Amino acid sequence: MSTNTIKANRALHRFDGQSEVWLFGYGSLIWKADFEFIERRPARIEGWSRRFWQGSHDHRGTPEAPGRVATLIADPGAICTGMAYLISPEVFDHLDKREKNGYLRELVTIQFRDGDTAQGLAYIAGPDNEAFLGETTESDIARHIARAAGPSGFNRDYFQHLADALRELGEVDPHIAAIERELEKIG
């Protein structure tokens, strides 16, 4: 089931007096920046793990056969690597529509490779949203990804773009690596 979060996100953060906001991307936002940004920097956040536990009913799947896409799961001690973008608040009009299927903007502390930190936002689809598919084995996730497709294309392409982007960053995410191995077995 799809959960439209556009209205909720617009009520969460008003950006009063701010001309620039940091956004942390950990999924398609790493490799698909279809928005204007002022600056882009590799970054990470602590206390979160990337997981393919969120359903995609509007991009990489359909309402009848959702795909699986990345979300963040609270995980003390974990580190999630991604890309941070410095954007103007107006960009959220586009991003709220793009990330509408269960994702809410959450405040996070972003750590850059040079040691600097900044407060920013990340879109996170928590377990309480209707599109959340939940935990299962990497083998089950790979089989699901291998057969799913939606208006934005094949679920497998989304996954592969993310795996390739993480390699370009020099990062290894054990969850992503395990799913990739399972997808290779499927062919």
Domains along the chain with CATH numbers = 6-181 (3.10.490.10)
Position 140 scores a pLDDT of: 98
Q: Dihedral angle at the C-alpha atoms of 93, 164, 173, 31, nearest 10 degrees?
A: -10
Note if 180 is an active site residue. no
Residue 48, strand partner residues: 74
pLDDT band at 14 (very low <50, low <70, confident <90, very high): low
pLDDT of 2 strictly over 60: no
Position 15 scores a pLDDT of: 67
Determine contact, residues 121/23, Cβ cutoff 8 Å: yes
Q: The pTM is what?
A: 0.92
How is residue 152 written in tokens?
A: 């934005």
CB atoms within 10 A of CB 114: 7
Q: What is the pLDDT of residues 42-88, one digit of tens each?
A: 999 999 999 999 999 989 999 999 999 999 999 999 999 999 999 99
**Residue 89, SS3?**
helix
- Which residues, 6 or more positions from 177, have their beta carbon under 8 angstroms from its beta carbon? 163
Q: Which of 20, 36, 99, 135 is catalytic?
A: 99
